[in-house]
Amino acid sequence: MAISNVENTGSWIRVYDERSKKISEMSSYNKEVVGIGSDFFVTLEGGWIKTYDEKCTKITEMSASNKVVRGAAGQTFTTIEGGWIKTYDKKCVKLSERSA
């Protein structure tokens, strides 16, 4: 199912489909939404970057050490790591990198 929006509303993160219907929600405690892809979203939680599907089920996580998430689009998200821009899939597998 496609994700059209993910919002922080009060103490909840709510996920909406392309018809603006709420698909799911989870607590926003200690979570910041930093990217939204077509079928996943990315959060920063303490020292971790975590990815979730449209049902708010965690897909995977990776250390956020020395990484800043720039955003997400389609099936990928990008980070800046030192002088590099790196692209990852929703399972946090690095797909490419280039100089920033």
Residue 61 pLDDT: 98
Q: How far apart are CA 98 and CA 63, in angstroms?
A: 20
Confidence (pTM) = 0.95
pLDDT at 86 over 80: yes
Residue 92 pLDDT: 98
Q: Mean pLDDT, to the nearest integer, of 31-44?
A: 97
| Distance (Å) of CA 68 to CA 1, 85, 88, 99 | 27, 10, 13, 15
Residue 12 pLDDT: 97
**Residue 13, both tokens:** 């993160």
Q: Is 81 exposed, middle or buried (0-12, 13-18, 19+ CB in 10 A)?
A: middle
| pLDDT tens digits, 13-33 | 999 999 999 999 999 999 999
Which pLDDT band holds residue 73 (cuts at 50, 70, 90)? Answer: very high
pLDDT at 53 over 80: yes
Which pLDDT band holds residue 6 (cuts at 50, 70, 90)? Answer: very high
